[in-house]
Structure 1
């Protein structure tokens, strides 16, 4: 569990609710069914129009990373690669065959299988980098779904405010309705800007950062597997891979 994300969401709610109470608007000032329909449903509609189905499904799949990022224990991965290198030097590349099916990560399993099969190191690098690039691009596109939502929601908040003011203008003859109507109109703006800047854009930034971290770790794995395929000294492999540890 990413505690910073949880704390951030809680503080965002506290900021909005506390600010509304301290400003005298109260909790009721933050609730508007009309604003919810315009901003939330409108933002979802815009994203559905913009996003291909595969990208949208991937976005739903990785949104959990905000609170449960993929595990990245680089020192443990380096230790495993060094151990494989030692086994390969003592028993040959076929000595790693038993390790292939034991790997949970499909990327690692594929790379290790190619090493065991004796594929040329330059071919291993080329194939794994193509897979890495493709996966990273798909994940970045999925993260940008939330970035797009963060761009659309403030505009929809303004549309909601304008629609609310239009409704207010129809009641100019009744001053008792003006204050409440204007307050309700601007609730849509709060929804749009608050949702974008407190939730959607930070989520997109975090997801893109995690995608880049994952890509960096897989670059490290590629370097380690290439070192094993080339029969490098385990100490040299370890020294090079330690450069990937932040």
Structure 2
């Protein structure tokens, strides 16, 4: 689990609350039900209106993933593929059927089953590329939904402020109440800006980034299993797949792997 989103959102709201406290104001002056209901309710409503109900349900289903952020590390994918290559060289491609039964990843399972069934390499590549493209479109629907809400929220906040100011103008005969009423009117704009920049846009960007990482993982698996089908030597296959990983990520994974090996040796020595 990668808690970056949770940490970032908490720090962002914490900064606002810290500012309010340092200014000597009260949090209750910001936590007004009426503008919050308008901003959050109307933002979600127009988000639904901008797409389809299916898009909305896809976005809701993807929301927990934005906070969990579970993505298989590239080095782990490479080790898995290299293990498959070693198995194929020792037991033949038919052994991939047993490996397919042992994995939980549907994408890898289908790829291995097709290898065991003798599917042509070019046809298998087309099949896997189509599946990757479909997954990319599906993942980006959720990201687009939250990003679009991030665009609507500030404007909806302004609408709430205009509505409240209209109510203020109706009560000009009561000067003593104008100050609190005007202050309350701008709370809607505040929540529009806060929800857009502290919630919707970060969640949309997070889902888009997770989608990119998942596509990279699936692409790595695709190239790996196709090389296994072609009979690539396991060590060379591992080097080839590592060359596909960005330098910073590869170095980090190699360091983690080396540290893990050192710890294992220390335990054996003890």
* TM-score category, normalised to shorter length: over 0.9
The 8 Å contact of residues 12 and 198 in structure 1, kept in 2 or not, is answered as yes
State the superposition RMSD in angstroms. 1.2
In the alignment, is residue 173 of structure 1 matched against residue 168 of structure 2?
Answer: no
Is the Cα–Cα contact under 8 Å of residues 2 and 66 in structure 1 kept in the other structure?
A: no
Q: Does the 8 Å contact 1:97/1:113 carry over to 2?
A: yes
CA contact (8 A) 1:39 1:188 kept: yes
Where do 1:71-220 residues align within 5 Å? 71-220=71-220
Give how far 1:97 is off: 1.6
3-state SS, counterpart of residue 6 of structure 1: helix
Does the aligned pair in 1 maintain the 2:3–2:68 contact within 8 Å? no
Give the drift of 1:28.
Answer: 1.8
Q: Which runs of 4+ in 1 moved over 4 A?
A: none
The offset of 1:76, in angstroms, is: 1.8
Q: Please say which of residues 95-104 and 64-73 is displaced more in the overlay.
A: 64-73
1:203 Cα deviation after fit: 1.0
- 1:23 matched to 2:10? The reply is no
Q: Is structure 2 residue 34 aligned with structure 1 residue 34?
A: yes
Return the alpha-carbon distance in structure 1 between the equivalents of residues 83 and 33 of structure 2.
Answer: 59
Contact 1:217 1:244 in 2 (8 A): no
Determine the C-alpha separation between the residues in 2 that align with 1:55 and 1:243.
36
Question: CA–CA distance in 1 between the matches of 2:48 and 2:3?
Answer: 30
SS of the aligned residue for 1:244 comes to: coil
Return the alpha-carbon distance in structure 1 between the equivalents of residues 235 and 201 of structure 2. 43
Q: Distance in 1 between matches of 2:169 and 2:163?
A: 10
Residue 54 of structure 1 corresponds to: 54
Q: Tell me, yes or no, if the aligned pair for 1:125 and 1:226 is still in contact at 8 Å.
A: yes
Kindly state the Cα deviation for residue 4 of structure 1 after the two structures are TM-superposed: 2.2
Residue 43 (structure 2) aligns with: 43
Question: How many angstroms apart in 1 are the aligned matches of 2:82 and 2:44?
Answer: 47
Is this contact kept in 1: 2:71–2:214, CA < 8 A?
Answer: no
SS state at 1:101 partner: helix
Distance in 1 (alpha carbons) for counterparts of 2:233 and 2:33 = 66
Q: Give how far 1:3 is off.
A: 2.7
Aligned counterparts of 2:24 and 2:169: Cα–Cα separation in 1 = 24
Q: Secondary structure at the match of 2:69?
A: coil
